Chain A
Amino acid sequence: MDLVVPIIMTLIPAATPILLAALGELVAEKSGVLNLGVEGMMLTGAVVTAAVMLITGNVWLAILCAALAAATASLIFGFLTLSLSANQVATGLALTILGTGFSSLFGQPFTGKAVPLFRSPFPPELATHPFWSVIFGYSPLVYFSLFMVVAVWWFLQRSRPGLVLRAVGESDISAHSIGYSVIGVRYMAVAFGGAMAGVAGACYPLMLTPQWVERLTSGRGWIALALVVFAAWRPFRLLAGAYLFGLVMTLEVYAKASGGGFRILPSEAWAALPYLATILVLVLISMRRSGSTSAPACLGKPFVPTT
């Protein structure tokens, strides 16, 4: 039981970048754009964060620059897929490759230098309290991610612009015919997705591994993509899914460290668990919704207005 607080304290930060990136991707996909470049945009955000922190030491500026840089990268993707109607899958993969290469090149002068941690904003009596740290002990990025879950939910379900965005994703031709700019809405959704992936990338140097090194995110962007499907495009289910993933990843490391009853599975099996969980949930979702999926109807399809 002593381990419950430490496990929660490890799983929530581990899940936060996945949650942030997946929220951004959720909004982009709701508008009908499938952007597979999440991993590349996260790397871009991570390297820019480390660079700005090492040069200026201003954490807010670093997060802002990370969001702007990743949004810029996503707009390259947006231009190719929205204005030029390029294939979204291929362009998204290219964006990941671009982001990986750009971050390696740009990050060379900053590689392996220690970045100061972005710590809990609460007073130390609360932030390091043996029990209350479970609520107050996190980096502001964690609280930001929770705020964004509510904000994205409110935007999509309760606001008029959110309704337009969903309309664009469900039936681009209808939205177009009543006068909404499909391409314009999608550009904004893609840029938002990019900015969120950038902040997700910022979590690595600021919270999880205080440094920049090549390929720092090690494939977490792909988990974020899977999570959007896992959550059936719903923000609160996304939150639950992200923490479930975080829990499985965290149990893996605690199981290996305990040497006790957790040892029923070899370490490779623990490492595979998050992915097995994804497949399992996808199967369950598709079984229950026999036939229909909750994916936006226009997801991945280019919009070319005829009039």
Chain B
Amino acid sequence: MQTINRRTALKIGGAAAALPLLGGPAFAQVDKVRAAFVLIGTPDDNGWNHGHDRGRQEMLAALGEDKVETTLVTNVAEGPDSERVFRELAQQGHHIIFATSFGFGDYVLRVAPQFPDTKFEWATGYATAPNVAIYNAKFHEGRAVIGTIAGHMSQSGIGAYIGSFPIPEVFMGANAFHLAARKVNPDFITKVVYVDSWFDPAKEADQARALIDQGVDVITQHTDGPAALQVAEERGIVGGFGQGADMSAFAPNAHLTSIIDIWGPYYTKAVKSVLDGNWTNGSSWEGLASGEVLIGPYNPKIPADVVAAAEAVRLGIIDGSIHPFAGPIADTNGNVLAEAGDIIDDGEFWASEAWYAEGMEV
């Protein structure tokens, strides 16, 4: 096992991708792949697990039932119990096992060496092994699009980002949101708060109430549920955004748009590589361009010019002309992190301390 950050991950991934050219396929071809998906919750959570299960179904549809069969294991806690699940799935002869939550990593890395012929895939992971690959999505690219909408739509000029924990994935999303909003409104303020949980609806809702009472009129959340959006609807503020899936059913007025996770193409690619015998222990981190991250339908109340601005950012990120972390960027202490014309590479976040761009209140 080697620990790597995102930047070296890309190099290693590239090197691994080149391996078959040098030495022939590392794994033999398979006629019918047995793929297992291990979820931390159930597919009807409307968010993270829902997205992974939909990805599984899309993969099944794309490759066909005669080429692949899947096993779905739900409600597996991120603990020693998951190790037993992974071992059992490997013993049953699954060719590839997807561990769809960050906390499964330690157990995957423990089981993987005992089953060298089984491939493991760790979602949002940070370390690979000879038969463990990692995959993630650039959710922060979507955050730049919704930040643009927030900058245009907010009347108070104060937005909020309700995060779970101050981990790289969350604070890079908050920065992407804020920087995009500031491009529209140079005085935009983003209040960043952490509720210290991925899932505590009552606390998320109270937090949203507290933020609205202090002048926030656009809320986005980086937790697993729509509780904050429901408060936005109840209080009648400008709005909020869905996370992981379209959440407009909870807040028809307040729901401006959503960031939707699409895992289907990646699952299709990974399973197909097992079929073809050219699977590698790579590191996939794709975003808007390859369709892993989608922006949901825009609320009809958003004016056409704002939709056009949001679309311009979305298309700009896809064609590479816009980068979510393009300079000039200074942090809250006034340190210049990137000059005009420079960018901060997305991968640097994984190795850096949390920082917040000028105008964010943490």
Instruction: Let me know if A204 is at the binding interface, CB within 8 A.
Output: yes
Contact partner of B206 among A112, A117, A211, A250, CB < 8 A? A250
Beta-carbon contact of A14 and B193 below 8 Å: no
Which of B6-14, B40-48, B147-155 faces chain A? B40-48
Shortest CB-to-CB span from B226 to chain A, Å, is 7
CB interface residues, B 191-246, toward A, < 8 Å: 191, 193-194, 196-197, 199-207, 209-211, 213-214, 216, 225-227, 230, 234
The reply to whether A112 and B226 form a contact with Cβ atoms under 8 Å apart is yes
- Asked if A117 and B202 sit within 8 Å, CB to CB, the answer is no
Q: A211-B201, A258-B214, A267-B194 are in contact. Are A249 and B226 (CB under 8 A)?
A: no
Q: Which one of B44, B197, B210 lies within 8 Å of A253 (CB-CB)?
A: B210
Contacts of A254 in B (CB 8 A): 210, 213-214
Cβ-defined contact, B214 with A257, below 8 A: yes
User: Quick check: is A291 within 8 A (CB to CB) of the other chain?
Assistant: no
Q: Does A302 contact B (CB under 8 A)?
A: no
Docked CA distance A204–B205 (Å): 11
Main secondary structure of the interface of B (DSSP, over half): mixed
Whether B207 pairs with A114 at a CB distance below 8 angstroms is no
A209→B196 contact, CB < 8 A: no
Which of A31-39, A190-198, A216-224, A235-243 forms contacts with chain B? Answer: A216-224
Q: Complex Cα distance A6/B157, Å?
A: 21
How many Å lie between the Cα of A108 and that of B226 in the bound state?
17
CB-CB nearest in chain B for A260: B361
* Known interface pairs A14-B206, A259-B361; A111-B196 also in contact (CB < 8 Å): no
A55 at interface by CB-CB < 8 Å: no
Q: In the complex the two chains form, is B201's CB within 8 Å of A6's CB?
A: no
Q: Are A6 and B44 in contact (CB under 8 A)?
A: no
Chain B contact patch, size range: 35 or more
Q: Which secondary structure dominates chain A's binding surface? A: helix
CB pair B45–A211 under 8 Å, yes or no, is no
A210 within 8 A of B: yes
Judging by beta carbons under 8 Å apart, are A213 and B234 in contact? no
Q: A301 at the A/B interface (Cβ < 8 Å)?
A: no
Alpha-carbon separation in the docked complex, A215 to B45 (Å): 12
Complex Cα distance, B282 from A259, in Å, reads: 41
Q: Which residues of A contact B41 (CB under 8 A)?
A: 214
Closest B residue, CB atoms, query A205: B201
A267 to B163, CA, bound (A): 12
Interface string of A74-101 (1 = CB under 8 A from B): 0000000000000000000000000000
> For the complex, what is the distance from the CA of A117 to the CA of B235, rounded to whole Å?
12
Contact, CB under 8 Å: B213 / A3: yes
Task: Scan A199-234; emit 1 where CB is below 8 A from any B CB, else 0.
Answer: 000001000111101111110100000000000000
Q: Is the CB of A208 within 8 A of B213?
A: no
Residue in A213, A257, A268, A271 whose beta carbon sits within 8 Å of that of B211 in the complex = A257
Q: Does B362 contact A (CB under 8 A)?
A: yes
- Taking the complex as formed, is A256 at the interface, i.e. its CB lies under 8 A from any CB of chain B? yes
18 extra A-B contacts, CB within 8 A, seeds A211-B201, A256-B210: A111-B42, A111-B45, A111-B46, A112-B46, A117-B234, A204-B201, A213-B201, A214-B42, A217-B202, A218-B199, A218-B200, A249-B203, A249-B206, A253-B206, A253-B209, A257-B207, A257-B216, A267-B196
